[in-house]
């Protein structure tokens, strides 16, 4: 399979480079390859499989939907399933957002929803510039890629959306201001405020500020909650719509239903995908009704009415809510971070362990070499790749991310048990050794 894949599939393929696997079956947090080897899946469809693979409740919902002859694709027409899905999803939002929320179905991918959000705020404000963050990841389409912090994927694609301004993300370990620790968040929000008030910054009134409350692909960096609160205040005071990209962090993963709840703020626009379709493709934008200034038909797309994804989404939302899997994710994430910090204490190559809920990362560095002024050691990309492949050999799938691909990322399904978390840590420990 792998040889055929290399011969036939695009050179742009990404995951198979570090994870040379042919997956044949899957259940819960486990996948099996074509040779029958079992792996713990800490990638889980890049965070799409909140309930893991083939959860009985999701299977049951899908079988029921098919056996009832539901219409499979319904564009943006309404259906009883869609009605229920919207009720369930909006029911998860804090009341002050839920009461004013409008929902737009956007198509299969997170990037689709980011594109819709950009058009929405441009239409509503009549402005065109957008503020985004260093290290941000919002997808690979032209608009979303324009907001992406890393240079690599943009370098060969000329003509992306202009007028995107990149601000420093509060990444304490590799602090953009060279100080580190708690000061990073304070300086990062002060920087944004001064920039917006500086008539010489070169930035005209932005249509939006777009941010991930926890950077995922950018290296699992949870923004300090006080920083998020400051960003909310700064944008509100200046009439700049705040778009929160919770494509990865949403639906329980960070230990709350949405990552913004930890900071007790609400966005103007919330972008969701991955887990909301229960593992099937779907994305939505939820936004304040004041922004709903679209002309009829101003945004369209064929695959906005995937009824199977909505049925699987309803089952997933119900399970997360009823089993309090958000809280569970918080506890399991803490357990995993504690293990990783113990491993860090014994190793010469882990510089930082961080995360929120079950978005967990370990940054691989060279501790034999001198740290910078803020205490960060040089990145060790070859070691990170080796750790990934040693973990895979021992039956653990983890993905890399962050600057230079040096952050080992753990994104297990939310149903992971304490025992399974311990196994993940044991395998990772062996791989690091
Ligand atoms: N935003 C965030 C925060 C993401 O993590 C991702 C995907 N990793 C996207 C947007 C893009 O989603 P998709 O790959 O479905 O286009």
pLDDT tens figures, 60-111: 999 999 999 999 999 999 999 999 999 999 999 999 999 999 999 998 999 9
Phi/psi for 170 (5° steps) reads: -75, 70
Return the pLDDT at 103. 98
Pocket probe for ligand 1: among 43, 113, 118, 138, the residue whose CB has the most ligand atoms within 8 Å is 138
Residue whose entry in the numeric block shows the structure tokens 């200034």: 293
pLDDT attached to residue 374: 86
DSSP sequence for 209-263? EEE-SEESTTT-EEPPHHHHHHHHHHHHHTT--EEEE-TTTTTTTTSSSSGGGGG
- Centre of ligand 1 to C-alpha 353, Å, is 23
User: For residues 375 and 386, what is the distance between their CA atoms, to the nearest angstrom?
Assistant: 24
**Which residues lie closer than 8 Å to 431 by C-beta, 6 or more apart?**
387, 388, 390, 391, 393, 394, 396
In ligand 1, which atom is closest to the CA atom of 245?
A: 3
Separation of 114 CA from ligand 1 center, angstroms? 9
Nearest atom, ligand 1, residue 111 CA: 16
From 195, 204, 291, select the one nearest 243 (Cα to Cα): 291
Q: What are the sequence ranges of the domains in the chain?
A: 2-54+324-432, 61-322
Pocket test for ligand 1, best of 153, 274, 282, 309 (most atoms within 8 A of CB): 274
* Sign of the four-CA dihedral 151, 153, 158, 163: negative
* Cβ contact 77:305 at 8 Å: yes
Instruction: Compute the distance from residue 113 Cα to the ligand 1 centre, in Å.
Output: 9
Supply the pTM of this predicted model: 0.98
Calculate how far, in angstroms, residue 228's C-alpha sits from the geometric centre of ligand 1: 20
CA of 121 to the centre of ligand 1 (A): 19
Contact 365, 376 (CB under 8 A): yes
Cα–Cα distance for residue pair 140/154, rounded to 1 Å: 9
Report which ligand 1 atom has the smallest distance to the Cα of 281: 15
The answer to whether 195 and 153 are in contact (CB under 8 A) is no
The CATH number of 2-54+324-432 is 3.90.1150.10
Q: Which residues line ligand 1 (CB under 6 A)?
A: 46, 109-111, 114, 137-139, 212, 216-217, 245, 247-248, 273
Which class would CATH give 61-322?
alpha beta
Q: How far is the CA of 248 from the centre of ligand 1 (A)?
A: 7
**pLDDT < 70 regions, the chain:** none
Atom of ligand 1 nearest to the CA of 114: 10
How confident is the model at residue 221, as a pLDDT?
A: 98
Angle at 189 between CA 183 and CA 194, to 5 degrees: 120
Q: Residue 37's CB: how many other CB atoms inside 10 A?
A: 13
Task: Using the mean position of ligand 1's atoms as its centre, give its distance from the Cα of residue 138 in Å.
Answer: 5
- What's the gap in Å between 67 CA and the centre of ligand 1? 32
Strand-pair category, 38-41 with 30-33: antiparallel
């Amino acid at each position: 399979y792998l040889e055929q894949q290399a011969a036939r599939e695009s050179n742009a393929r990404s995951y198979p480079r570090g994870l040379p696997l042919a997956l044949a079956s899957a259940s819960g947090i486990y996948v099996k390859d074509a040779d029958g080897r079992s792996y713990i899946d800490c990638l889980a469809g890049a965070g799409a499989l909140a309930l893991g693979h083939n959860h009985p409740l999701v299977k049951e919902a899908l079988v029921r939907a098919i056996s009832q002859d539901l219409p499979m694709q319904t564009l943006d027409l309404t259906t009883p399933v869609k009605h229920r899905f919207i009720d369930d999803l909006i029911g998860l939002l804090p009341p002050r957002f839920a009461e004013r929320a409008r929902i737009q179905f956007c198509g299969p991918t997170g990037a689709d929803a980011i594109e819709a959000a950009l058009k929405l705020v441009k239409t509503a404000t009549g402005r065109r510039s957008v503020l985004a963050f260093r290290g941000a990841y919002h997808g690979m389409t032209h608009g979303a890629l324009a907001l992406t912090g890393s240079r690599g994927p943009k370098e060969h694609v000329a003509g992306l959306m202009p007028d995107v301004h990149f601000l420093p993300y509060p990444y304490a370990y590799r602090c953009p201001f060279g100080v580190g620790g708690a000061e990073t968040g304070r300086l990062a929000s002060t920087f944004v405020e001064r920039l917006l008030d500086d008539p010489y910054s070169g930035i005209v009134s932005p249509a939006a500020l777009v941010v991930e409350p926890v950077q995922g692909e950018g290296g699992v960096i949870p923004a300090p909650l006080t920083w998020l609160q400051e960003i909310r205040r700064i944008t509100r005071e200046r009439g700049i719509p705040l778009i929160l990209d919770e494509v990865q962090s949403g639906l329980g993963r960070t230990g709350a239903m949405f990552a913004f709840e930890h900071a007790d703020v609400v966005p103007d626009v919330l972008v969701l995908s991955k887990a909301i379709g229960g593992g099937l493709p779907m994305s939505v934008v939820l936004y304040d009704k004041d922004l709903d200034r679209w002309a009829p038909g101003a945004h369209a797309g064929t695959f906005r009415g995937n009824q199977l994804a909505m049925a699987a989404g309803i089952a997933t939302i119900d399970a997360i809510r009823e089993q309090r899997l958000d809280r569970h994710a918080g506890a399991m994430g803490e357990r995993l971070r504690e293990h990783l910090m113990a491993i860090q204490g014994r190793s010469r190559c882990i510089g930082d362990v961080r995360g929120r809920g079950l978005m967990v990362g370990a940054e691989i560095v060279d501790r034999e070499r001198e740290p910078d002024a803020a205490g960060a050691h040089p990145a060790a990309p070859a070691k990170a790749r080796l750790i990934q492949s040693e973990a895979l050999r021992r039956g653990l799938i983890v993905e890399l991310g962050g600057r230079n691909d040096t952050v080992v990322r753990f994104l297990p399904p939310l149903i992971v048990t304490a025992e399974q978390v311990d196994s993940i840590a044991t395998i990772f420990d062996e791989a690091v050794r």
